[in-house]
Structure 1
Amino acid sequence: MNRHQLGFWVLTALVVGNMVGSGIFMLPRSLSEAASPAGVILAWAATGLGVLMLALVFGSLAVRKPELSGGPQIYAKELFREGSHGSLLAGFMATWGYWIGNIAGFVAVITTFASYLSAFFPVLTSNKVWLNFGSFTLKAGNVLTFLICSILLWGTHAICLKGMKGAGRLNFIATATKVIGFALFIIIALFAFQKSNIGPFLAPRTDASGKTLGLLSQVNAAAIATLWAFIGVESAMVFAARARRKQDIRRATIAGLLIAIVLYVGISVLTMGLLTQNQLIASQNPLVDGITNVLGPVAGQLLAGLGLISLLGSTIGWVLLSSEVPFQAAKLGVFLPTFAKENSKGMPKISLWISNAFGQILLLSTISGSISAAFDFIIYIATLAYLLPYLVASIYHLKLIWTGETYSLYKERVTEGIIASLAAIYSLWVIVAGTANLKTFLLGVALIVSGILFYPLLLRYRKAQSKNI
């Protein structure tokens, strides 16, 4: 069968769909909590520029090294001598961390779906107590949210098993619908924007310990949240092995990023003018609450419906992405071989089952807290898992530029050297900003280091394989 099924538009839809997912709905609240309007705008500017540099790096590497597909983490093995133990270990650990980060990504999308479904079914936020066990309280809303999230997860699993073409088409339809819908939201918000809701443009914020944060500290704090909005910019690169034309990977990455920037900046800034700062920070559904203030509850429900369509498409894209990462790595020999198994449709069946089983475990976070708390927790544990592969890709690009491999023109090396350097600096900056929060650092490191428990399985397989030869 033809495995090169993904053209430019489907690849672009995967990029936009995976970026414009949970973040666009929940980030207005997270950003208002982290920074004043001035800090939010500066964080968007810095993140937009940094992610653009990363997108250019991803696009260049996809064209220059088409045999290395499956995501930015795969370049970790190329930083060491080919066939060495260091190469194998780096490839495995980077893939493990990035894979777990992707699983956290689709769990964030699914929990946001439940949040917007609660606009139609308020019982999902019911505080009725079903069970008390010591300090643990089981509420009706949390149980129902967990069940809805689980049904969405395994329904998406069934769709993905049926083949890339059908899943890609559904994702494209959902992405096109949400781009049109969010463009309408931006137009309405422009006319309804109230400057008085912004509050002080530059105002201090306090962290969890009560310490006052100045503008620079606010930008650092908001940069983690704004980066989360762009996670998924590498989606076309992950599916490079399934693309019809390698050039489409770079084009889809840039096009998807530009569409996402317009939507994200427009919506996050304009939502601040639809709700007061206090309303925004307290909101579980900031976009719905904002449009309801302007046009009434019917408009809010229509937007919630658009959110559900959007998040359904994003869930498909993220589940596909999460299974593709270890699948491609296993085919390159740097991940557990069982993940390389396919079904008759060419889909990574074992990878899908294991990825979604881990996702189901993470969904347990919705049992004991609010949806927004679950969303924030998942962002925390995923941040470092994404940042390290982004830094690895930038360093590998610099290595190619330094050695001149795949380059024939000196001018190209200089231009792309500047881009790769800026991408690396940006990645380092956000890592430092993010790991200043000890919780983020420890959870991120724990995620990545936990893979070492499974590394001996890969060594055992390779040893058995070498004996057979």
Structure 2
Amino acid sequence: MTDTGTATQQSSVQKLTFTTMTMMVVGGMVGAGVFSLPSRFAAETGVLGALIAWLIAGSGMLMLAFVFQTLAMRRPDLDAGVYAYAKAGFGEYLGFFSAFGYWASACVGNVTYWVLIMSTVGAIAPALGDGDTVLSVLLSSIGVWVFFYLVQRGVKDAAAINRIVTIAKVVPILVFVLLALFALDPQVFADNLRGGTDYGSLFDQVKGTMLVTVFVFLGVEGASVYSRHAKRREDVGRATVLGFLAVFAVFASVTIVSYGILPAAEIAELRQPSMGGVLEAAVGEWGKALVSVGLIVSVLGAYLAWTLMAAEVLYVAAKDDDMPRFLGRTTRGDVPFNALLLSTILVQTVLVVTYFSEDAFNFALDLTSALTLIPFLLAAGYALKLAISERNPVRELVVAVIAVGYTIFLLVAAGPRFLLLSFIIYAPATLLFVQARREQGRRLFSGPELVILAVSVLGAVAGVVALAAGWISI
């Protein structure tokens, strides 16, 4: 292992262009989530609720994209955006929580990719079930370690592969939208306008879709996370906004056109990936096969992008002395090897846990979203803090206020179940923070940090009690 602090190491670091960073944003967002959108939305709402949900999610996430764009320009000295912004704005301990939560969400999200791949193949190989059988866990585990080997070869190779895969996986999704538009039945679409009578109020319908919209938009911060590799700093913000707008148009289209193919109740009951079932109803079995192939390519590409980002967050936190030093070491190929290894181990662990879950895919999807909300809220809060303290343009203040309000709304929509489960994951992570402080010979916690520690521990205890009592489940 070598340290990237040397001049020789710095000269060999791969610099990413605007096009490559945009592809990383798109590649990070276009993964498992898009293929599950039809059934996830149809289970909660009809066309009207879906349109409102996408309007809220699109506006809120666009504000977050603008936040990352602004912060990339205002604080070009900060790397690995989500984590660095939380630390700069609210101190080392909350910065640590942001880094760990973002990293954990990336690893849990990677598990959904393997579950969905196995569920897709399970349609023709029953032994794989819905991606939660012993065989599917075993095959997924092999895939996890194959990707570990690929990524540890170097950032340059992985980024190049991601660029190619991103193009390959977007094509089948666009084909789905075009075929579904051609086969759209206006009467079916009209019948799905308001959805069924058992959906509840329109507000409840919209709220029920919020976690899945967060999940599919994860990756909007991808260029910010990898900012230390940018050839030009201004490309970070531009890549973030362009990548988001392109993906938003695709995601909303996939959801809305599906309502014109089948009744909402039937879409809600489709096996994942539900996009395949919708296209099968529209054009026949070959449509399902097309989606299945596109899904596997898409998910493997997204897994690559998120493996890179997860390791990068741990690495930068370690270099800033907020994680133990062993996570800050890299190979000659500029790969944070120990951070990558720890990320792979967590993915492997959660994969085993999915075997015991009632609904492995949806549970991992929602938990991934919930874990990301705190890092997003802290980043938006820092943008708001800067806008107020430095008297930045009114536009930046308005963007930050909307972004903060949106993330708070998402926390409310997530509900207590996933917040308590998040605390169970966050609280034990403090051991890494303690180790880092001991390595530096520093006081473990300040007064305010002790308050944060107490809140996280109490939340974790409440979560464990709720699980034991059966009030919440995995």
**In which range does the TM-score fall when normalised by the shorter chain?**
0.7 to 0.9
User: Equivalents in 2 of 1:367, 1:291: separation in Å?
Assistant: 29
Does residue 275 in structure 1 map to residue 234 in structure 2?
Answer: no
User: Equivalents in 2 of 1:51, 1:67: separation in Å?
Assistant: 24
- Aligned partner of 1:54 in structure 2 is 64
Choose from 94, 97, 101 the match for 2:98: 94
- Aligned partner of 1:14 in structure 2 is 24
Does residue 451 in structure 1 map to residue 461 in structure 2?
Answer: no
- Aligned partner of 1:78 in structure 2 is 88
- Aligned partner of 1:397 in structure 2 is 383
Q: How does 1:1-150 map to 2 (within 5 A)?
A: 1-80=11-90, 87-125=91-129, 142-150=133-141
Choose from 180, 194, 197 the match for 2:185: 194
Does residue 338 in structure 1 map to residue 348 in structure 2?
Answer: no
Residue identity matched to 2:313: V
* Other structure's SS at 1:454 match: helix
Does residue 170 in structure 1 map to residue 156 in structure 2?
Answer: no
User: Equivalents in 1 of 2:89, 2:324: separation in Å?
Assistant: 20
- Once the two structures are TM-superposed, the CA of residue 43 in structure 1 deviates from its matched residue by 0.7
* Other structure's SS at 2:441 match: helix
**Contact residue 83 and residue 96 of structure 2 kept, 8 A:** no
Residue identity matched to 1:336: P
User: Equivalents in 1 of 2:269, 2:304: separation in Å?
Assistant: 29
Residue identity matched to 1:292: E
Indicate the larger mover: 60-69 or 238-247: 60-69
- Aligned partner of 1:307 in structure 2 is 295
Question: Cα deviation per residue 1:376-398 (whole Å; 9 max; x = unaligned)?
Answer: 11123222321111111111112
**Contact residue 32 and residue 295 of structure 2 kept, 8 A:** no
- Once the two structures are TM-superposed, the CA of residue 308 in structure 1 deviates from its matched residue by 0.9
- Once the two structures are TM-superposed, the CA of residue 37 in structure 1 deviates from its matched residue by 2.4
Residue identity matched to 2:409: W
- Once the two structures are TM-superposed, the CA of residue 120 in structure 1 deviates from its matched residue by 4.9
Does residue 378 in structure 1 map to residue 364 in structure 2?
Answer: yes
Residue identity matched to 2:54: W
- Aligned partner of 2:211 in structure 1 is 224
Residue identity matched to 2:367: I
User: Equivalents in 2 of 1:192, 1:439: separation in Å?
Assistant: 40
Structure 1 pair 428/196, CA: closer, same or farther in 2 (3 Å)?
Answer: same
Question: Cα deviation per residue 1:187-208 (whole Å; 9 max; x = unaligned)?
Answer: 11101112344434224565xx
**Contact residue 279 and residue 288 of structure 2 kept, 8 A:** yes
- Aligned partner of 2:244 in structure 1 is 257
**Contact residue 60 and residue 403 of structure 2 kept, 8 A:** yes
Q: How does 1:295-444 map to 2 (within 5 A)?
A: 295-368=283-356, 373-404=359-390, 413-435=393-415, 438-444=416-422
Structure 1 pair 283/369, CA: closer, same or farther in 2 (3 Å)?
Answer: farther
User: Equivalents in 1 of 2:98, 2:50: separation in Å?
Assistant: 31
Structure 1 pair 172/33, CA: closer, same or farther in 2 (3 Å)?
Answer: same
Question: Cα deviation per residue 1:141-178 (whole Å; 9 max; x = unaligned)?
Answer: 71121122112211111110011111111111111112
- Once the two structures are TM-superposed, the CA of residue 291 in structure 1 deviates from its matched residue by 1.4
- Aligned partner of 1:130 in structure 2 is none
Residue identity matched to 2:78: L
Structure 1 pair 401/141, CA: closer, same or farther in 2 (3 Å)?
Answer: closer
**Contact residue 65 and residue 221 of structure 2 kept, 8 A:** yes
User: Equivalents in 2 of 1:68, 1:205: separation in Å?
Assistant: 50
**Contact residue 29 and residue 247 of structure 2 kept, 8 A:** yes
- Once the two structures are TM-superposed, the CA of residue 369 in structure 1 deviates from its matched residue by 5.1
Residue identity matched to 1:358: L
**Contact residue 63 and residue 246 of structure 1 kept, 8 A:** yes
Residue identity matched to 2:267: L
Residue identity matched to 1:352: L
Structure 2: gaps of 5 or more residues: 1-10, 445-474
- Once the two structures are TM-superposed, the CA of residue 48 in structure 1 deviates from its matched residue by 0.2
- Once the two structures are TM-superposed, the CA of residue 323 in structure 1 deviates from its matched residue by 0.8
Structure 2 length-normalised TM: 0.86
User: Equivalents in 2 of 1:227, 1:165: separation in Å?
Assistant: 29
* Other structure's SS at 1:324 match: helix
* Other structure's SS at 1:236 match: helix
Structure 1: gaps of 5 or more residues: 81-86, 127-139, 207-211, 405-409
- Once the two structures are TM-superposed, the CA of residue 465 in structure 1 deviates from its matched residue by 12
Question: Cα deviation per residue 1:42-79 (whole Å; 9 max; x = unaligned)?
Answer: 11110000000000100111122122111313222222
Structure 1 pair 143/94, CA: closer, same or farther in 2 (3 Å)?
Answer: same
Choose from 140, 149, 152 the match for 1:158: 149
**Contact residue 83 and residue 99 of structure 2 kept, 8 A:** yes
**Contact residue 315 and residue 327 of structure 2 kept, 8 A:** yes
User: Equivalents in 2 of 1:292, 1:105: separation in Å?
Assistant: 27
How many percent identity over aligned positions?
A: 29
User: Equivalents in 2 of 1:107, 1:27: separation in Å?
Assistant: 18
**Contact residue 323 and residue 352 of structure 1 kept, 8 A:** yes
- Once the two structures are TM-superposed, the CA of residue 32 in structure 1 deviates from its matched residue by 1.3
**Contact residue 117 and residue 295 of structure 2 kept, 8 A:** yes
- Aligned partner of 1:185 in structure 2 is 176
User: Equivalents in 2 of 1:76, 1:311: separation in Å?
Assistant: 29
Structure 1 length-normalised TM: 0.87
User: Equivalents in 2 of 1:321, 1:221: separation in Å?
Assistant: 28
User: Equivalents in 2 of 1:250, 1:60: separation in Å?
Assistant: 7
